[in-house]
Structures are given as structure tokens and as C-alpha cells.
Amino acid sequence: MKAACRSCGATHLETILDLGDFPLVNALPAPEDLGRPDPRYPLVLVFCPGCSLLQITCTVAPEELFREYLYFSSYSDTMLAHARSLVERIVADRKLKKEHLAVEIASNDGYLLCNYQRLGVPVLGIEPARNVARVAEAKGIPTIVEFFGRTLAERLTAGNRRADVIHAHNVLAHVADLNGVVAGIRTLLAPDGVAVIEAPYARNMIEGLEFDTIYHEHLCYFSASAVVVLLARHQLVLADVERVPIHGGSLRLWIAHAGSEVQPSVTALLAEERELGMTRIDYYRDFGMRVSALRDDIVAYLRQLKAEGKRIGAYGAAAKGAVLLNYARIDTDLVDFVADRSPHKQGRYLPGVRIPIRGPEALIEDRPDYVLLLAWNFEDEIRAQQADYLRQGGRFIVPVPAIRTD
């Protein structure tokens, strides 16, 4: 069956990068799972000339990816600060009070909505991962344990619930039914409401060689140009846009009902993308070649360090780390362990390469000479947390967009 564009349905899609068959990067096997092979699925990045959307071709069932999930946003100080400042800004600018409602799609452990609640604004979380939703509920965040789409939105509005603010942070890229989710946002959004969506920016990925953001959960990689086409299909507009540094460079999209005022920031960014060529295939053609060259550089550097007798660890059992290690085929021959702050990941293994995950204290206890910084998008936070390791002579290797050791 020929793949069709997830946004516009076009079937003429151009291949940008083929990573081969890949494990599910957030499915971290426990010790009792090590005797079973990790499920693998094709991972191919393509471009749609019809609507400019970058996307992957394979859809893994959402139930397999998200019903039990090991990523908890509250374990990142950067994410907590990012959410707090955004919510405080929105509550002040829009004068939100107890008669309003803030909804978050894929609300995780309530890390964002708790800020609205603290400021006296009612909230509703929608989170399909049962284990994560339980944590949010324990914090007092009312949470519906379902996948969001048009059907759920219609059910909520039938009960006279409309959202003054809808958040969808790092979720629009994850949804298999892209048009269904956008239709649901339109249904649930109050007439003068705003949807705030954050998604990794395709431009940062291409220009910064952020190939490690490509995995089965990330079905789409957005430009403003692709977003405008998608929204127009559902009588929504991109009213404002910002570029924010989170996750290696993201777009913050302010979405409103058709007829709302569009800020100059949108017109300017669309013109910039056209000037760069982001609506044409030529902009993307050499991405695969540059990625394979970076992979070879990383492997050669680690092998050189091992030949010199150096011990190498890694930090960040994040999805992007599993992508890099699997694509480069880096296993325990080169990297002894991966340290991670989340207790939900410790004691497990990275899929595919089967590198054990330990707590951050392993950096001091085992003191590897070098640590490959897999969660490089949180470099400043990790450096601050692991200052003792660095003071004792440890060194970080930052792999993207080019190898840097300091």
C-alpha cells in the first residue's frame, strides 16, 4: 500500500532519510524482557510536495506506544520552568479566572496544568497513558484517560464544556489521526479561545542535523507553511507564531478560529520559509548524506577513545538517545551505561542496543572518563546537575550537530 500524506492525502512523497527497521525508542525493556527481541518497524522520513509536511511513513498503533509510558515531564527542570512562565504569561494576558477552563491534550503528569490550578483557573487534562494519568490525578489534576480527537471533543462540548485555552505540547507531531485531532481542537475551542501548540521545528531539525528526533512516536515534523495548510482545512488560522529553544528548537503556534487577526510574525515566518526553500524538496535533499557523515564521525571518535583505554558512559535515556545509539549501532562495546534522573527508567535497558540505565550517581561511582550527552537539548540543566562529575575531571561529549567535547 502506498503511503499517503498525513495532512493532505497526496501519495507522491519524496524520501529524505531511511533509518531502516528501528525499535520503539521509549519501550525500555526490563531485565525479564532481555530474552525477547525488541519489535522493529520501518523508519523512513519523507516530504510531501503538496503541503510541505515532513513525516514518517509507518504508523505504529497508538495503544502500543502510549498506553503505558515512561516519560514524565516533571523530571526536567527545564520543562517545569518553561511551562510555568508560559502559563503565567497566558493567565495575565488573557485575564483568566475561575470561570475559565484550560485544557491540555497529552497532559502527562500535570506538570503544566498545575500552574493554572495554582493561579485559580480550572483545568482538565487528557492523557492516554494510564500510568502517567494516575500520577496527575494524585496531584489533583482531573484527567480523562483517552486519546483526544473529534469524538471526545464532541462529547465534552455536549456537556457545555468549551476551553478558553487548549495546550498541546509535543503532541501534534505524535498523533496518527492528524486531521481528527485538529478538528477536535476546533470543536472544543471557545469562540474567542486560543490553542497553544508547541512542536519541534523542521528547520531546526534539518539545519541542525537533529536526526535523533526522528522516531515512531514523531509522525510529523512541522514548518509554519505546513501548519497553515492543515489549519485552513479545519477553519482555523495561525494567529501568531514564536520560535522557542525548547527541544533543540520548536515552534510555538497560537491558533484561533478563522476570521481572527493574524499577527505580522506569521506573515514574516512564512515569507522566510519560502525564501529558504522549505516548501520545495531541494531544501531537504542532502539531509540524509549529512546525517550519515555525522554518524560515522561519532562512531570513529568513540572507537578512538576506547582504543586509548578511556571509559565511556552516556547521559539521558531519552528517545533521541536511543535513536542515535541504534542508528550508529553503539552498544556496550563502546558505552558502559546510560545515566538518567527518572526512577521510572532506572534498572531498565535502552531498546535495541540493550545498554543498562542507571541513576545519575553512577557518574560519580564509576567515574567514566567521558559521557556521551544523549539528551543534548537539556545540556545546561544536566551540566548544572552533574557539576561534581565535571569538577572531578569528567568530560561531556555533545554529539549534535557536530561532535564537541568539553
Mean of pLDDT values over 364-392: 95
Pairing of strands 395-398, 404-405: antiparallel
- Residue closest to 66 by CA, chosen among 154, 213, 170, 184: 170
Q: Any bridge partners for residue 313, and if so which? A: 371
**What whole-number percentage of the chain has pLDDT above 90?**
86
Q: Tell me: the pLDDT tens digits for 253-267? A: 999 999 999 999 999
Whether 44 and 17 have beta carbons less than 8 Å apart is answered as yes
Which H helix or E strand runs over 205?
Answer: helix 202-207
* Summary mean pLDDT of the chain: 94
Average pLDDT over residues 58-70: 74
Q: Which of 16, 14, 5, 24 is nearest to 209 (CA)?
A: 16
Res. 2: pLDDT tops 90: no
CA distance 176 to 44: 15
Residue in the block written with cell 494510564:
130
| 121 alpha carbon, distance to own chain's centre | 26
| More confident position, 363 or 128 | 363
Residues 172/185, Cβ–Cβ less than 8 Å: no
The residue that leads in pLDDT, 97 or 67, is 97
Region 237-253: what's the mean pLDDT?
A: 92
From CA 366, how far away is CA 47, in angstroms rounded? 44
Percent of the residues in the chain that have a pLDDT greater than 70, as a whole number: 97
Q: Is residue 285's pLDDT more than 80?
A: yes
H or E segment and range at residue 189: strand 189-200
Is the pLDDT reported for residue 1 higher than 60?
no
Return the closest-CA partner of residue 213 out of 292, 324, 330.
324
Instruction: Report helix, strand or coil for 349.
Output: strand
Task: State mean pLDDT over 160-173.
Answer: 92
Quick: pLDDT tens for 205-243: 999 999 999 999 899 999 999 999 999 999 999 999 999
The whole model's pTM is what?
Answer: 0.90
- Are the CB atoms for 242 and 218 separated by under 8 Å? no
Query: With contact defined as beta carbons under 8 Å apart, do 168 and 105 qualify?
Result: yes
CB 58 within 8 A of CB 14: no
What would the mean pLDDT of 72-78 be, rounded to a whole number?
A: 69
CB atoms within 10 A of CB 281: 13
CB atoms closer than 10 angstroms to residue 329: 12
- Indicate if the pLDDT at residue 394 is higher than 50: yes
∠ Cα 116 121 122 (to 5°)? 100
The torsion angle over the Cα atoms of residues 31, 35, 41 and 45, rounded to 10 degrees, is 50
Using CA atoms, how far apart are residues 279 and 292, in angstroms rounded to an integer?
Answer: 24
Cell numbers at 134, concatenated: 494516575
Q: Which domains does the chain have, with CATH numbers?
A: 66-284 (3.40.50.150), 308-405 (3.40.50.720)
Sign of the Cα pseudo-torsion (52, 4, 19, 173, in order): positive
